[in-house]
Amino acid sequence: MSDKPFETHRLRSTSEAPDSRAVAARLAALSHPARIEILKHLSASNSCCCREVVDRFDLAQSTVSQHLKILVEAGLVRFEPDRQRSRYAIDHAALADVSASLTALVNSCCSGR
């Protein structure tokens, strides 16, 4: 009944905009410097197994695996098991989509001025 976007801490799922929650969730996956660096590394490399990322950064294997999992769950990185390795690759379309969402948000904010 309320016309407010929140109902006790939860956003309404109005069928209108790209849903602030979805945008926020994907931005959250990008809001950690390690994950940004990992994304850059994935884009520069083509092997992209977990171990390679671990070798490149001073982070424990478990930590890297966790970051990769977050990126995969956010849909920004695709995962494909390959023998005993795990192949991680950037989902360029998804990444472009996030960028577009943010640009759209910014534009909507600027149009209101």
Partner DNA sequence: ATCGTTTATCGCCGATGGACGATGAGTGAC
Partner DNA sequence: GTCACTCATCGTCCATCGGCGATAAACGAT
| Interacting residues toward a copy of itself by CB under 8 A | 2, 4-9, 11, 20-21, 23-25, 27-28, 30-37, 39-40, 42-44, 56-59, 90, 92, 95-96, 98-99, 102-103, 105-106, 108-113
The residue (of 21 and 92) whose beta carbon lies closer to DNA is 21
Query: Using an 8 Å Cβ cutoff, are 42 and 90 in contact?
Result: yes
Q: Is 83 in the site for DNA (CB under 7 A)?
A: yes
For 7, the 3-state DSSP assignment is strand
3-state SS, one letter per residue, for 61-109 = HHHHHHHHHHHHHCCCEEEEEECCEEEEEECHHHHHHHHHHHHHHHHHH
Provide the binding-site residues for DNA, judged by CB under 7 A: 8-9, 28, 31-32, 34, 49-52, 54, 58-63, 65-70, 79, 83-86
